[in-house]
Amino acid sequence: MTARLTVVIPTRADGRGLDRAIASVLGQGVDLAVVVVLDGTRATSSVDDEALRDLVAAGHHVVAPGHQGRPGPLRNLGLALSATPYVGFLDDDDVWAPTKAETQLAVLDAAPEVVLVGSDATVVLPSGPRGTYFDGTAPSVVRLREEIDTNWLITSSVIARTRSLVRVGGFGLAPDMRFFDDYVAWLKLLTLGEGMMVQEALVDYASGNQASLSASDPQAGRTVRRHALEHFLTDAADLDLVISRRDRRRIARHLRP
């Protein structure tokens, strides 16, 4: 059977959950490829090297490009290694539910106009599960206009069409995009088609982990959105992505002082 999905897992390999993340992907019940991208050195890692050797022996990839310090370049490397129609992403401290891939691939297979599928997630605090992230508030269809106003797409929940994500340049590499390169990537993707949301929580999403490669930006949300939308407009112009006048007006409202 030929793999239909590549799952990219960026990690510092510091023992914060990588083994659990990998196990949750391998337990999906669909044929897929895994790319673990290691940030930095392995000198202080507490992850079982045997588990990574087993992953490679099974035909998956473990690559170490050196220290990057942010997830965007690591995700792009995994994207470059993807030879499957679909690509998904998983932070190393998050966990996929057993039916995640099957559920979301069914949506993508049935709707060629859909470029990505996200889902709700169970928020897991250091003290334990807290409930779902969106709590039923997420739209079932995410278009560019919805994503401009609110980022509905948790990176560990997203499965996208590989060719579409390559077309929009993947994740941004500018140092100041460290905390929102995923958001800009989803904005760019949604210029090509619609996104869909599965209302079910298909990810255990770790929150409050300050060691995470995707730790929250200490800046205020409005400041982050302004920077993200500015990068989005620049990237869209460079890549000849079409943004409607209506959506440009919506962006302009967010960019006002």
124 C-beta neighbours (distance < 10 Å), count:
20
Query: Which residue from 130, 181, 148 is spatially nearest to 251, judged by alpha carbons?
Result: 148
Q: List C-alpha distances in Å: 25 to 101, 193, 216, 246.
A: 9, 27, 24, 39
pTM of the model: 0.90
Q: What is the DSSP letter of 171?
A: S
Q: What integer pLDDT is reported at residue 41 of this predicted model?
A: 55
Dump pLDDT digits (tens) for 170-190: 999 888 887 899 999 999 999
Which superfamily, per CATH, for 5-255? Answer: Spore Coat Polysaccharide Biosynthesis Protein SpsA; Chain A (3.90.550.10)
Contact 122, 231 (CB under 8 A): no
Burial of 224 (0-12, 13-18, 19+ CB in 10 A): middle
Q: What percent of the chain has pLDDT over 70?
A: 89
Q: What integer pLDDT is reported at residue 209 of this predicted model?
A: 52
The full set of domain ranges for the chain reads 5-255
Contact 68, 39 (CB under 8 A): yes
SS3 84: coil
Residue indicated by tokens 């620049």: 234
Specify the pairing of strand 32-39 against strand 61-66: parallel
Sorting pLDDT into bands at 50, 70 and 90, what band is 40? confident
Cβ-proximal residues to 249 (8 Å cutoff; 6+ apart), any chain:
none
Lowest mean pLDDT segment, chosen from 94-103, 133-142, 200-209, 211-220: 211-220
CA angle at 234 for the pair 142 and 7, rounded to the nearest 5°:
50
Rounded Cα–Cα distance for residues 6 and 86 (Å): 6
Dump pLDDT digits (tens) for 69-96: 778 999 999 999 999 999 999 999 999 9
